[in-house]
Amino acid sequence: MSGYIAFVKKEFTENMKNYRFLILFAVFLIFGIMSAFLAKFTPEILSALAADMEMTSEPVALDAWKQFYKNISGVGFSAFIILFGSCLSNEYSKGTLVLMVTKGLSRKAVILAKYTVAVALMTISYWISYAATYGYTALLWNDTSLAHVVFAAVSLWIVGFLYLSILMIGCVIFKQTFTSILFTGGIVALISLLGMIEPIAKFSPFILTSKNVDLISGKVIPAEFVIPAFVSFILSIFGLLIAIRLFNKKQL
């Protein structure tokens, strides 16, 4: 336990010192702010650029959330995975972990500490981004008809845990950053593909990333999200256990 806490502290410091957290925080914050503004002003920008283009509809608050979910589930999480893809490969290639492990730091603690810090930083970045979108959307539209705004955000956040858990497996298996990222991307793509197959679509965590906007607009009900959220949660824990198991057998 003391090893875990010490390593969590070290990971926090490291993510501050190498600007990883700063970059992610900035990316997520910019996306949060941009979501509302882009939704609001895209029609005006477009009409300014092409005067003869007719805008068919006025932008609404829902458009801001569409931007938010598109950006965060796509670029935001990708940035996260790309930046954290090197969290173990750096230590492998430099050999810094050897000294820690030979001092009695358990391998489980290494994985759990890295995961804890990644999840914590993801959570902070994500909810800052959410707060920015929420604030500016309220400011620009003052629309109160939207339902389950928080619940929709929680469901995408839960998927973040799953992505990071998959990333940990990738990082444990592969010694190169690039292959770990590729592995994570591959598994995420696989999950979305499986999510399209009818009999299992209802249970797939894919719903949590694809139907958030439908939830806000009222096209789907929160109950449909409960099982996928549960599945995502279970898979995250399962993924972590696999990562720890594989790491125990890894030659450092």
Partner 1 sequence: MNVLTIQNLSKSFGKQRIIDNLNLSVPEGSVFGFIGKNGAGKTTTMKMVLGLLQPDNGEIHVCNEPVGFGQTRTNQYIGYLPDVPEFYNYMTPIQYLKLCGEVIALSKAEISKRSEELLSLVGLYDVTKQIGGFSRGMKQRLGIAQALLTQPKLLICDEPTSALDPVGRKEILDILYKISGTTTVLFSTHILSDVERICNHAAFLNEGKIAVTGTLAEIKALHGHESLLLEFSADKDLQLFKKQKSAEPLLIYSEENNRELILHSRNMENVQKTLLRILAETGICPIKIELMEPSLESLFLEVVK
∠ Cα 142 59 130 (to 5°) = 60
Q: Which stretch binds partner 1 (CB under 8 A): 154-162, 178-186, 194-202, 243-251?
A: 243-251
Measured between alpha carbons, how far is 58 from 38 in angstroms, rounded to an integer?
13
Contact map string, positions 9 to 38, toward partner 1, x by CB under 8 A: xx--xx--xx--------------------
Q: Give 14 or 214: the residue with its C-beta nearer to partner 1.
A: 14
Q: What is the 8-class DSSP label of residue 29?
A: H
Token pair belonging to 153: 């955000």
Q: Which of 6, 33, 138, 149 binds partner 1 (CB under 8 A)?
A: 6
Q: Is 106 in the site for partner 1 (CB under 8 A)?
A: yes
Binding flag, residue 235, partner 1 (CB under 8 A): no
Which H helix or E strand runs over 48?
helix 20-49
**What b/e string do you get for 73-112 counting C-beta neighbours within 10 Å, with b at 16 or more?**
beebbbbbbbbbbbbbbebbeeeebeebeeeebbbbbbbb
In the list 66, 107, 148, 211, the residue contacting partner 1 (rule: CB under 8 A) is 107
Which of these ranges, 32-40, 93-101, 163-171, 211-219, lies near partner 1 under the rule CB under 8 A? 93-101
Query: Which of 22, 44, 55, 96 is the binder for partner 1 (CB under 8 A)?
Result: 96
Rounded to a whole number of angstroms, the minimum distance from the CB of residue 227 to partner 1 is 36
Is 107 or 148 the residue whose CB approaches partner 1 more closely? 107
Measured CA to CA in angstroms, residue 213 lies from 46, 157, 228 at distances of 24, 14, 16
Question: Residue 51: how many CB atoms within 10 A of its CB?
Answer: 7
Chain residues binding partner 1 by CB under 8 A are: 2-3, 5-7, 9-10, 13-14, 17-18, 94-96, 98-107, 248-252
